Amino acid sequence: MPSPFHTSAVPVPDPPAPVGVIANPVSARDIRRVVANASNLQVADRVNIVLRTLSTLAATGVRRVLMMPDRAGIRAMLSRHLQREHNLHHAFPQVDFLDMEPTSTVEDTFLATRLLREAGVAAIIVLGGDGTHRAVVRELIAGADSPTTIPIAGLSTGTNNAFPELRESTITGLAVGLYATGRLSPDRALASNKLLEVAINGGERRDIALVDAVISTDRYIGARALWKPEGLKSVYLTFAEPQAIGLSSIGGLLHPVARDAPGGLSIQLANEPSRRRFGLLAPITPGMVREIGIEHFEPMPANQPFAVTLDAGVIALDGERELAFDEGERVTVTLRENAFFTVDIARCMSFAATAGLFRLSCQPPRRNS
């Protein structure tokens, strides 16, 4: 079905590249939701988000979507909805599920991202929290010498959601569709993003964080989600927004750093009264505001390694414990700028409106012969 949207000076490919969708079926089901009396997003809600996204992708002219399969019910329920809508002659892109056997672990996200990259998708729409988006970005940039050209567009369905912005999926689908069909060029549609690179012993082990890397005195990973302020030693941030929930809120309420601003923020925490300069109230998880002791904070310039002073502990990346380190191991955290791209939804929609991409041509009424 041809799109009713106007085109800009950018030529529209025919057919346009497919769009990828990765929907985490179990995001927002960690211990933080339990202790904070927060609700979980059910499978039906996730399917409805995908359906609204697909509908608006189709309206912009996207013809094919490649999607990660799952074992939790999203694929089965979505397939039933799409078949029913097809029988009612409603327009949706062709949805093909990736040829992979889901395991209900983060490896599904890693594999799906690799397959979508190999398929040459124009963009990847991600439904999940900070951890899901981190997994997608980690796989996209793995082995890359320069920023990957495939952008992601986040839909917030996780617990803290400091990275993916809260936004209606209809609008996200419109913006991604306009970019995927070539009506918006990369310089108008995409935004570059920072990340944190964590290295142990000069890179023997390494990982990334999109928002925060937190050093804790805990020696064991245990429950992955980090939600207790006791034992927190250091917080490193790519950006810090005052309205955020989670550990990044410490920086957001202490010294805000914008997503598009250069550099990040390093914070040293103090549980001991003798080391504490002052206390700070911060919403470290939904419904949970705690006092955090602040010892020191400073700007974090790009490409400057910050050495972790704790002898042994655990590193939490975007709210989840990931890496344990022991005495004698050297840990550094380095902020990298222009590391990956996202679809800038607000800028896409603003430019599309200004350029008249949503205006429809008036067709004169047909005369009876």
**CB 196 within 8 Å of CB 335:** yes
Distance CA(271)–CA(274), nearest Å, equals 9
Give the CATH number of domain 195-338.
2.60.200
3-state secondary structure of 250: helix
**pLDDT digits over 72-95, tens only?**
899 999 999 998 877 666 789 999
At residue 27, the pLDDT reads 63
Backbone angles phi, psi at 32, to 5 degrees: -65, -35
Q: To the nearest 10°, the Cα dihedral for 324, 329, 333, 339?
A: -80
Share of the chain above pLDDT 90, in %: 71
**CB 132 within 8 Å of CB 100:** no
pLDDT bucket at 162, cuts 50 / 70 / 90: confident
Of 42-46, 285-289, 352-356, the one with minimum mean pLDDT is 285-289
Single out the residue of 316, 336, 314, 334 nearest to residue 325, CA to CA: 314
Pure H helices in the chain: 31-35, 43-60, 74-87, 106-119, 130-141, 169-180, 186-189, 248-254, 345-354
pLDDT bucket at 160, cuts 50 / 70 / 90: low
> Which is it for strands 19-23 and 64-67: parallel, antiparallel or unpaired?
parallel
330-355 residues labelled b (16+ CB within 10 A) or e (exposed):
ebbbbbbbebbbbbbbeebbebbeeb
Spatial CB neighbours of 273, under 8 Å, sequence gap ≥ 6:
293
Of 8-22, 103-117, 172-186, the one with minimum mean pLDDT is 8-22
Distance CA(207)–CA(51), nearest Å, equals 33
Distance CA(248)–CA(212), nearest Å, equals 6
pLDDT bucket at 35, cuts 50 / 70 / 90: very low
Q: Is the pLDDT of residue 8 over 70?
A: no
> Which is it for strands 124-128 and 152-156: parallel, antiparallel or unpaired?
parallel
pLDDT bucket at 220, cuts 50 / 70 / 90: low
Mean pLDDT of 16-20: 94
Distance between alpha carbon 236 and the CA centroid of its chain, in Å? 18
Q: Which of the four CATH numbers 3.10.20, 1.10.10, 3.40.1280, 3.30.70 does domain 19-193+339-354 have?
A: 3.40.1280
Average pLDDT, the chain: 88
pLDDT bucket at 148, cuts 50 / 70 / 90: low
**CB 10 within 8 Å of CB 186:** no
Amino acid, res. 62? V
Beta bridge partners of 27: none
Q: Give the residue extent of every domain in the chain.
A: 19-193+339-354, 195-338
Single out the residue of 204, 233, 260 nearest to residue 315, CA to CA: 233
pLDDT bucket at 32, cuts 50 / 70 / 90: very low
Of 117-126, 153-162, 177-186, the one with minimum mean pLDDT is 153-162
